[in-house]
Amino acid sequence: MQNLIFSTNSLFNALSWRIPTEFNFTGYDPSLFFNDHNDAVYLTEATVSGTAIALATIDIETGVLGDLSYPWNGIGLGTAEGPHLCKKDDYLPGIDDGLDVVDFALDSVLPSHWVHIRYYPNDTIAKDITFVGRRQIETLFSFSVDLNFDPQWLGERAGNSVYLDEKRHIDFSVANEDATVPQPVASALSPEYRNRTPIRLEVAASNTAHFTFPAGFPDLRNQEAIDMKTIGHAGASPVNGRYQGVVVGVNGTTSVQTIEQYQQHTPFVFVPVNEQSVELRREAPTLHLED
C-alpha cells in the first residue's frame, strides 16, 4: 500500500501539481490535520489490523514521520474507517475510556455505543433471547451487572455474556435449569449464593488469556464493601475472533417476564483495566462449563 501526499498552488492548473511526497506507514485511510497552535502537521491513520488508530507528526515536504502513538485501540469491531481530526470550539476531540456506568429503565433508549441482538418474531428458534452490550475498547477490563432476578419457569436465564457471535460466547448467568453436565466440570455452590437477590455478576479480563467470573451481593449503602468471590474461569480462545474484538453485555432468555424483570433492576458497569458457558444456578445449584 502506497501513501502519497499531493500538493498544488492551483487545483485547476495541471502544471502546478508537484511530484507526490511518499511516506511509509502500514495502514490505510490517512488523514492530515494542521494544528494552528504549534504549526505542526499531524497524520492519523487506521492500522493494518483495522482496530487501532495511530497518530504521528509528519513533515509534508519530506514524508518523514515523528514518533508513532496509539491514542485509540479501536471499538471492538473489525476494519474500522480511518479517523479524521477536526477543531471545534478551540479544542481537539478526545476519547474517554474511563468508568462507564449505565442504569437502564424500561423503554429507555440505548446509548449509541451499545448494541442489541433480538431474533425476528417469526424465527423458528424455539426460545426467545434478548441481548444488550457494549463494544470492548480495552484489552483488560471488568464488566458487572447487579441482577434482581428470580427465575420461575424452566429454562429462564439471565446474566453476563462475553459475545463474539451466536456460536462463540461465554455466559455467566442465573438460571432455572434441569440439564445435566459431566461430573468433572460440575461443583456445588455455597448455600449463601442460593435464593438471594440482588446478586452482582462480573466478568473480568485481568490478562490476555483468561476471563474470571466473580459474584457477590452488593450493599446499596456501601458499594465498595461488596465481597466478590471467583466462581469460575474460562480461556479467551473460544471468543478469539482475530482482530474484531468482542461485545460484553447482558442477556435474558426464554420468556418476556425474564427480560422485563431484568431491565428494571440492572445497573451496568464497564471498567477498563489497561460456545463455553459458566452458570450460577438456583434450582439445581451447580457450576458448570460447557463446550
Give the CATH number of the domain where residue 214 resides. Answer: 2.60.120
Q: Is residue 209 part of a domain?
A: yes
pLDDT band at 285 (very low <50, low <70, confident <90, very high): very low
Please tell me whether residues 59 and 199 are part of one structural domain.
Answer: no
244-253 residue pLDDT tens = 678 888 888 7
Q: What is the pLDDT of residues 150-175, one digit of tens each?
A: 777 777 788 888 988 878 888 888 87
Is the model's pLDDT at 113 over the cut of 70? yes
Instruction: Using the structure block, give the residue that is written with the C-alpha cell 427465575.
Output: 151
> Is the domain of 15 the same as that of 66?
yes
Shared domain check, 13 and 134? no
Total count of domains within the chain: 2
pLDDT in tens, 220-239: 666 565 778 888 888 888 88
**What is the per-residue pLDDT for 89?**
63
| Entry pTM | 0.55
Asked if residue 215 and residue 274 are part of one domain, the reply reads: yes
Go through 3-24 and write b for each residue having 16 or more CB atoms within 10 A of its CB, e for each that does not: bebeeeeeeeeeeeeeeebebe
| In a shared domain, residues 106 and 57 | no
Same domain, 141 and 207: yes
As a whole number, mean pLDDT of residues 68-94 equals: 64
Which of residues 99 and 22 earns the better pLDDT score? 22
CA distances from 124 to 121, 268, 270 (A): 9, 31, 34
Q: Which of 2-11, 127-136, 141-150, 155-164 has the lowest mean pLDDT?
A: 127-136
User: Nearest to residue 272, comparing CAs of 23, 43, 72, 29?
Assistant: 72
Average pLDDT, the chain: 71
d(CA 157, CA 176): 7
Check whether 95 has a pLDDT greater than 50. Answer: no
Indicate the helix (H) or strand (E) that contains 264.
Answer: helix 256-264
Q: Indicate if 130 and 192 belong to the same structural domain.
A: yes
4 or 269, higher pLDDT: 4
Interatomic CA distance for residues 231 and 66, integer angstroms: 47
Single residue among 31, 55, 72 that ends a domain in this structure: 72
Q: Check whether 55 has a pLDDT greater than 80.
A: yes
Q: Give backbone dihedrals phi and psi of 105, rounded to 5 degrees, phi first.
A: -115, 160
The parent domain of residue 163 ranges over 100-290
